[in-house]
Each structure stands twice: as structure tokens, then as C-alpha cells.
Structure 1
Amino acid sequence: MSEIRIENKKQNTVNFYYAGFFIRLLAFCIDMAVTSSLANIVKNFIGEDYQIINNISLYGIIFWLICLLYFTLMTYFNNGQTLGKMITDIRVIPTKSEKLTFGQVVSRETFGRYVQNKFLFLYLLVAFVPKKQSLMDMICDTVVVKNSAYEYYLASK
């Protein structure tokens, strides 16, 4: 069990279990299966795939938009959880406030995914950093924790 300081009105130090690399990878794989399924449904309605600009296809743009909307909206409106995170019992929480801000979620899920997908080795930071944070978790002041411990914290407030 590790400690994370959530700065609230009472200035409590709360103990959480951080979500490690492999559980986060499993959640991501589940989420990618969901987004791929949604994109394939849309692709079936559109029919033929078209090349729009220099090897960028219509399907590629649709898939990118679905991923962007899915990860951003699910994380924000489900209090830090996507379907993959729900299944694996983890969630994203802020380290310096009670609730994720829309700016944190957008930064983490758009800019963060773009940068980390260009430099895949950055995902490995999760395995070596004490709080098991990715680069974007560090920049956006977020951390991924086991959901059951977080819900216990919320119930005890």
C-alpha cells in the first residue's frame, strides 16, 4: 500500500493501491476492443474506405475520433473510468483535488496519448516510477488506483 496526499479541506493523507503496468495494459486492451468494434460498425455503414490525404484513410480518421471521444468522455463523465478500467477495477483520480477537471482529462487523453504513442517506451515509466504514473499522469497531476480502495475512501469521508 502506498500513500498519496489528496489535498482537500481536511489535509488528509490517504492510502491507495496504485495500478501497475499490466493491469493498466489489460484495461487499455479492453478499451481498444470496444473502440475498434464501434469503429467497425461505423465503417460498415460507410462502406468503401477512401484515402483522404497521404495515406490517411477515412476509416483511420473515424477510428481516431472514436478513440478520442471514448477515452475523454468516458473518463470525465464516469469519474475516471472507461469500460476497461471498470472491468479491471481501476480508476484515474487527481492528486491535488477531489474531482478530475475536464482540462486534466483532455490533456491526459489527447495530448498524452499522442506523445506516448509516438514514443512507446514512455509507457514503461509506469513500471519504474514509485507512484506507477505515466508521463502524462505526472504532467496532469493524476494517478491510477485500485477502485475498491478509492470507493472505501469516499465512503469514509
Structure 2
Amino acid sequence: MSLRRTIAAVSLSAFALGGLAACGGDDDNGGRETAPAPTTTSQQASAIPTAEDLTALLEQASDPAVPVEEKVNLVEGGAEAPEIFDQIAALKAEQGATVQITGVAEGDVPGTLIANAVINQPGQEPINVQAQFINQGGNWMLQKAFACALITNAGLEPPATCAGV
């Protein structure tokens, strides 16, 4: 699958995931289901990383030379499923893709960010996407659902942690 199709599928998957999260069931809160908000302090919430910080985070997560122990706080759930970093590195190595974050905005939920990103791949036009980041325990990290969608839509074998995401 080409990276352009992959990104279109990821964008659609992220949109679909957002739409599914907004769907409710029959419960006591008026039919709305709400995900628990990430815990942040006012200091954490004000410490929004720059586009350069987030680009460096993605580069570190995809670098096979960086030990997994140093990566576990770069992707949501990374400590429970460190094999996700092998797939993130494979995405970069096998497709030659690089990601540069060009802008960052706070998400609708406290402790979340929406980042404009440009994905570059040799021989193809740059692709603009939005990546989602979450603050957990004072660490900004790539949202697991977005990382899993990238891996899956690139045609790589997703780790078990991606099942049901």
C-alpha cells in the first residue's frame, strides 16, 4: 500500500475513531459515554511542547538505535507493549518515511494535543496529516490509536496491543 493511501486511511481511521468515541450507549449520563480525561496539573497543561519537541519525540520513537527502555514513554501504552516500537521503526526503515511536526494546538480534552504533521517519503509528494498526542504523568506521548493506525494502514503486522483499538 502506498504511503499516500496509508495516510488517507489513517486520517479516515482517526476521524472514525473520534466519531466512535462520540457515540453513546444506554446509560445514566444521557446516552453519552465519556473517556476519562488525562490527569494533568495546571503546570503540566501549560507546558505545551513545541513542534520541534514533538518531531524529536517521533524521531526517537522510530530510531532503532535508541533502547526500548528510553522509548516506553513516547507512545501511549508503550511500557505495556514495547513491541510497538519495532513496528514504528520498521515503518521508517521500510518506507523511508520521515515526519515533521509543523504546528501544535491544544485538543478539546485537557491534556491532549493535535499536531499538524508533514510526512515525507522518497519519490512522493509530502502528505499533511494531524497526529494526536496525550499527556500522561507529565510526559507527552503519541496516542496509541494513532500509532496503531499508522502501523496497520502501512501494511505492517500490528502488535497485539493494537487489537481492538
TM-score scaled by length of structure 2: 0.30
Give the greater-gyration-radius structure (CA). 1
Structure number having the greater helix percentage:
1
TM-score scaled by length of structure 1: 0.31
Structure number having the greater strand percentage:
2
